[in-house]
Structure formats: C-alpha cells, structure tokens
Structure 1
Amino acid sequence: MELLGGLAGKVVELTVEPIGRQLGYLISYQSNVKKLKDEFKELQNDKEAVQHLVDQAQRQGEDIEVKVQDWFTKVNEITELVDKFYGEEAHANTNCSFKSCPNLWLRHQISRKAKKMTLEVAEIKEKGKFDKVSYYKPPELVGVPLPSTSSSTINEEMESRISIMNQVLGALADPNIDMVGLCGLPGVGKTTLAKQVATKAKEQKLFDKVVWVTVAQSLDFKGIQSQIADIVGMKLEAESLRARVSHLNQRLKKEKNLLLVLDDVWERLDLDEVGIPFDDNPKKTSAIPDENLKCKILLTSRNEEFLYNQMKCRRNISVGVLSEKEALELFKENVELFDDSNNIDLLTVGVEVVKLRGGLPLAIVAIARALKNKRQPSEWRYVLNQLRKPLRRNMTGIKEVDAVLKYSYDHLDTELQSIVLLSAMLSHDPLTIDLIMYSMGLSLLEDVHSMKDAQDALDFLISKLKASSLLLDSFSHDRVTMHDVFHEFSLSIASKEQHALVVRPEEHETSALACTNFLKPFGRTKGMLHLEELELYSCGIGVIVAKAEVPESGAPTFIFHKLTQVKTLESP
C-alpha cells in the first residue's frame, strides 16, 4: 500500500501539477498580459526620467557612467522584445476571439511569455535606480589659446620662438628648477608660447596634468581657485577663503606630477594664500621639498624684475620681438597670402605694414586678419596710410599696437563694437550668459526677441570676433577671453569715447565724478568692490550694470545729483 501511495503521489507531481500550471497560463492570460504592459510602462517612465538626468549632465559637459549606458542598452533590447510581443498578442486577438474559436495553444504561449518577460522588465527596472548618472572628467590641458590658426602655433621657420620654447622645456625638465618665468612686452606672444610649451610638455610626458590659470590685472583669489578646481575635477563649495585654501591645498597634494601655468601675472601672488602647495624659499636645500609632490610653475608677466624680486622666480626667459623675416611670414600666413609671384603689389605694401608693427605678433595678426578679405592694392595702401597717422592719445602704451587695434575696432559694425565694449567692461573673461543677458537688456542685438535668438546671435558675433583675434577661447567653454592689451584698449574706448564709467583697481576708493550723456553700461571691476561712496553730478545715465559680489563692509553708496534717468540691470 505504501508503494502504491508513493507511486500515486509521484504521478500527481509529474502530471497533475504541470497540467495545472499550464492551465494557469490559459486562465491568467489577460492578467499576465496586463501585468507586462503595466510593468513595461513603468520602465518607460523610468527611462525617460533617467534620460532627463543624462541630458542635463551632457549639457554640463559631464561623461555618462558606463553602468548607465549599459542600462539603456538593456532597456532598448527589452523594448524590442516587448514590441514584438505586442504584435504577436494583437495577431492572436485578431485571428479569433475567445468566444468563437480560441487558439488555446497560442494563448498559452503568449501568457507564458508575458509572465517571463514581466520578470525581466522588473529586473531591468530595479537596476535603473542610480545615485548618479554622470561624472566630471577634467581635461588634461585647459588654456587660453588664440584661435586654431597659424597664429597659435610655432612653425619651424620661427627660429626665435623654437629656441625660447626649447629653453623653457629644458628648464621645466631640470629637477633643480621648480619655477620658470616668461617675460616680455605686451603682445609679444608670451601666452601663445606658454600654451605651446604646456602642450609639448604634456606630449613629452613631462607632466601628468597641466593646469592653466589666467590671473590678469586684478587679483581674484576665488576666481583663481575656481579655475584650478575645475581643471582638477574638484568641487570647491566652501565660501570662506581659509576653507577654500585648505581644501584646494589638500587636493593639489594628491597630484604627483603637475605643471601649473599662471598666465598674465601683474602683482605678487602669494601661492599659500591661494592654496597652491609650493615652497618658494630660496634657501631650501631641495628643489622639491616634498618628494611626493612634483609641482612646477610657469609664469608669464611683462616685467622680468617683478618675476625675480616679487615671485622669487630664479629662471626667467625673455621673449623678444620677431625678426623681420618671422614677422613677414606670420603676416602672410594670417592674411592668407601664399603665392608671392601673383601678389607682388600686395606683398610690397604688406612689407611696409609689417615694419610698422615692430615685430609684435599681436599687432601683426590683428592687422593681417583685418586685411585678409581685401585683395586690392589700393585697399592695403589705404590701411597703411591709416596706420601711419599719429593717434590723438596713448591707449595701451604701445604705439605699434594702438594703431592696429584702433583700425580693427573702427572697422567693426556697431553691433560688434558694442559686444567688444560690453565684454571688456564685464570682465577680462566674461561669461557668455552675462553677455547674452546684458546685450538683451541694453538692446545691443538687432532683431532679437527671445533668449534663444540672443544666444544664436551672440554665438555668431563671438565667432566673428574670434576670427579677428579680438576675442579668444577661454579656460572654460562658457566664457570668452580678451587679450589684456585689447582689454585695456577697449576700456579706454569705453571711458573716453563712449562716456562709460570705468573704475579701475588703482583708482581712489571714493570718487566724485562728473559726466554727461552717459548712455553705455559700466562694469563693476574689482576696484568697485572697495568703493565706499560714489557721487555723480549732472548725469543722464541710461544704464548701470552693477555686477559683483557685495563686499564684507556692505554695498557701496551711490549718490546721484540732478539725475535725469537711470536703469539698473543688476545690483548686488
């Protein structure tokens, strides 16, 4: 009897239970299909939500995590299978109805497949719960290069530049030298040389990472810290300067082989106050005090004495003007004059134009690009005569540059001139979003009625100014940079010819100024941060652009006497 009982149980296990399970697929046909559709709809909603996060991260220039990319691949694969299943299920319902001639086998297969796919969809949906979808991958080299043309490279014919570049690379490779300086006249090509050096150093694997910081005339410790933090992939969220210094110092100590380029340094920069771990003690016994820290610094500045005395830079290399041959070759490349035999008349005038530029690359490139689309000798002779005319005043302190910049500026249309002045007055390297907002508020852009139109228009105008070397690529994709010489020139134009109020850092903290017909914006430079009181007399002010953080002592006081009109775009 026991044997028969066991045998009966086995028969039930092997026959009745499987049959019941298979019948269950038929009975639960509608339920299984509905569960799959519901689960798949939730997966699609999750996919859309994750896609929003991915789009936002990509707009910020971040890379997407591999696991997120793999998840999207699995979602796409299961989507194809589910779509195919929907087709099969619709085909089964079309061919026969359950009341008339149900195809039990087909319904059984569909129900079984629906249940299996529901589990697969649920598993994929569960894996789509991400803490983060992206990460910031800092670039290996970020600088402030000139546009990608011959002016931003050093070719084999420019022997003086090749020699200087090799000197700097040799100094950086020397274990006994930890700081190197490049000095020379404004517009002589220090930044371009430093950019080439940084690129070559990276190619030759002298350094694992290159960090480029534009210092400029007004020291901005937080701005310098932010530039460094962005490049090394660090979020520097602390507000107090002391905390930022500590965090940045600890982060940079993790870099084992780092080149820090400090471009356009005007006054002593205390590296400790920024958070740069560097020992500038000239009496130290070792060139590198911490054997785990290999940080070298390349400086560019106009003044060799400043580099030696203030920055304690013991290896300084001077950048001189170009030779006549080098200057002419640079001019020909940028004006795109390649065939001398067919352009004798133009070349004759071009030689005279180059001689007036004093071998300064900035002036040569600027005038070459202004002449690039002109192919009549009479046009070139006209420009030559314009350059020979003495200017009424000194703008940058370099007569060879002043004439070229004045010509380049005067021959811009009104829209481009406005963007140039606005850029200079906002910052040495203004944010493009600021340019968009202020140009909209000041109605500087023609036929623009939306932010999208303004962005498109500004992108077009910036590209034209970059092509003329009047604006340059910056350390960040959301900014543009203006060469310090042209920055000075533009501020001079804004203050002297457009009656714009420009307060520079070296000027007094309290000023009483008289102005008339003031219809242009003024930018609050770093000097404005320390301005305690400002009085304006008899002013018809159209616009005030007040863009800066509020100083610790509170906002400055503005006193207006006989004010006729005022419009404030932004205030702290």
Structure 2
Amino acid sequence: MMHAEERLLDLVGAMEDLKAMRNRVLREIELQEEKGKQRTQKVQAWLDKVVDKDQCTNQLVIDFSRCCVTGCCSINIYSRLNASRKATKLKKEIDELMKEKNQVSVLAKRGPSNPIIDMPTSTTNVGIMIGSNLGIVRDCLADKTFVIIGIYGMGGVGKTTLLKEIKRSIGEWNMGFDYVIYVRASHEHHVEDFRDCIAEQLSLCEPSIETIFKFLKYKNLLLLLDDLWEELDITILGIPDPHDNSVITNLYKHKVVFTTRSKQVCDSMRADKKIKLKCLDQDEGWQLFKENIVMNLEDAPSIEEVAREVANLCGGLPLALIMVGRAMSNQTWLAKWNLMLDQLQGRLFSSLCESMLLYLRSSYDSLAHETLQQCFLCFCLWPKRKLILIEDLIKCWLGFGLIYYFDSISEAYMHGCYIIKVLEEASLVITHDNRTVVEVHEVIHDMAQWIASRAEGDHKAWFVKQNIIFEQLSSEEMETWIQLERVSIINCDMNSLPELQCQCPSLLSLSIQHNQRLEKSTEDLS
C-alpha cells in the first residue's frame, strides 16, 4: 500500500514507452499505406490493445488522484491498495504488449493497384444530417460547375468526419479520379509541409511546385484539405487551379473539397458550393451517444434517465457526445453519472470538459483583434440557453467601451452588427429571426465562461466563478475581487455579497445567476 505512488509512476512510464512504440509503428504503417499497401488485422488488433491500455491507465490515475484527497479513512486505504494492485496488473499487461509487438513482423500487405488511398470504414454514426451532406458533396463532385467545395461549421460539429467519409466513399462513387490527396492543415500551416505531404502520397522524390504540377497536370485529381484557417493558394502547392478555363483543365478534373470553421475562408477560397454543418437533433445525438457507450443502458433505467440528460447537455455537438460518451463508456455507478451531469451543467469543470474546451478555444484564439475576443467573452454574462437581443448585446458592448470611434448611435449599431457577423463567420454564434437575436451554443457558452474564469494578462479584469465561498477568500483574492471590472457569479450559496473593505471603482458589470438566497447587493458594493 505504501508503494502505490511508485507503482503508479512505473505504470505511467511503461505506458509512455508503449505509446512511443505505437507511434513508430503508425509512422511505418502510414508510409507503407501511402505506397498502396494495407495494414494487417494482426497489427491493427495490437494498436487497438494499446489504445485500450492507455484509457485504462488514464482512468486509474484519475481514480487514484481522487482517493488521495478523501482523507486517511479505511475506505481511502482500501482504494489506494486497490489502485496499487491494478497498477501492477496493468504494468504486466503493458510489458506483454511490448513483447507481442516484436512478433508482429509484417506491418502491411500489398493492397489493390489503386492510386486512391483507402481509409478504414468509420464505426461512428455520422448522423442523418452528415449523411445528407455526404450526398450533397457527391452530387457536387459529379457536377462540372462545382470545382471548389467548402464545408464549414463550429469546432467539433463533424467536418473532419464528413471529409473522411468523402475519402472513404470516393472509390464507390466511380467518378474517375486518378488520385485523391488528403492534407491536414493547421492553425499555422506551412506550405513546405503541405508539399511534402502531397509528394509522399504521390510517391514523388522531389516536393517542388514544378514536380507536383507536372505530375498532376494531366491527371484527374481530388484534393481534400482539412481544417483550413485562412485562404490558401493551392497553386503554390503545385495543384492545378480548378478555376482555370484552359483546354487542359477542361479535359481533366481538378477539384478541391476543404473544411474550415470560418465562412469567410469559404469566400476567400472562391468556393462554388458552401455547406454549413449544424449540430445533430436530440434523437441523432442520443443515438451517437449510445454508440460510444459499452454498457446496455436499457438494463439500468435509472442510469439511462441521467444518461439522456447528459447527452442532451452536449447540445447535439458530435465532439462533446463522443468524448463524454467514451468517458462514461462502461460506468455502471449512478453517482458517476450524476457527477458528469453536474460537470456539464456548469457547476464545475472536469479535466474531460477542459480538454474539449481547449480544442474549441482555437476558434476564439483565431479572432483577429483583442476587442473581438472581449466582445465574445461578454456572452458569459448572459444565462446559458438564452436568446439574446442583438440590441441588448450592442448596448453591453457600448457600455464596456468595446465599440468606440463612432459619430452616431446608428453608426455604433452598424459596427456592433459587423462584430456579430465576424463572430458568426467564426462559428462562435448563431443569429435568428432576421438577425434580431443571437444565440450561443451551450458548449461554446461553457468555453466563454472557462476562458473568462482563467483570464490573465489583458483579460484579468474578468471574473467568472462558480460555487465560490466568499467567507473562504484570502486577503489577496479579496484584493483581486475589488479591482475587477466585469463580474459574473453563478450558483453561489450565499445570502449577500461580502462586506468589502473599500469601494469597487472599476466595476462595469455585475451578473448574478442562480443565487436564490441572495437578498441584497447594492449596499455591499457601496
């Protein structure tokens, strides 16, 4: 029992070594698959086992960290002993997997002589909506008038899933493409990396513009670009311009399908067809959620009831449904489900929620100006799942001084409408009713609160806290509270605000939500 921490550290170290081995195997497989080979079932089974051991290790570390803060009671001692035994068992299984890898000699076998690189069939339900969009893309690819197709939507809505489904299905559609190239972009893409990726998939020795262009000029090509953040001139990659009306391009098909979070990127890329992905409806969301659950929920009606609430709180966002579903995959304890429900209802942030929000935050980070970021953070001052009048939102921005340099109210209003358009194009907000009200997806709203509650530097004037106990604030925390400009207090069980030692001269906004026992506030603020 006394060596539980040491055994856990040994387990984590062994798991890191196993993952490093897995990464080497994956790199070797990818190189061979790009040459037209296919991975064997044996090596795929080994990779699946590595993923399973990684999940078990992470869960054990989380469980152990929780039992360490429950005190030195008998239950805690038993938990530590149990964790120690599990760590020893897992370490042994990981060592066996590393030995098993040495017996996996053939990493890939020769596939059919087809230049299109096949992808494994997705086991994830892409939903009726994405299935419908797959048909739209198929029709566009068959139509000569559509050569560049842009797929856009908020982070985690399923754009990458759709693009992979396109790549998987393209061989079945028999559209005559000689080559299908898949390139994963990034927030800060590098043209040289793109060319290297393209040259590898084409088995070219030199990744230069001239070499790639010469090879593809007389070929039928489909280029799939995933996760574009800004305009990309594909001709500098060596890809023939699909909009070129020369005789050569009329004889050969050169088409591009890309995904992005920004509608503006679709415009700058001159997309002939723009497809916006929306979140799944409640029934589709529940089906996707269940597909990531191992246990049979029908055998546990009490858990199924809470599980439906958990799924609904994911707001139809596939990323959230999949991540939360997998985290609760084999959880048979009702209390764990209620804990997850609390996390998603915003009463606390878990490591799972934070990892998801960190992924989504890139949309916020991509906003060109700090003022736009501050305007977005204002949404956390409104309750979740509430339609906001655009007029009220613009008044808020005016009050905070986020809209300035205007000669009239109408000019300020137009500026506010422009900000909303920028946020909408970044897939951070949704407008309704002829652009009179605006809505923020629940998970994006959580992201705004999460960013604001951790704000530093230029954003340190934000204060968004949940379940705060003012009586337990230190003198340093109280001093910080006094200096704040924008404050949001949520779910705090208190009768009144704290008795402050001085006034709050910088306070611009105080938002208090779900604090039913609060009786007074103005006199506390002086």
The reply to whether TM is greater than 0.5 is: no
**TM-score, normalising length: structure 2:** 0.45
Q: Which structure would you say has the larger Rg?
A: 1
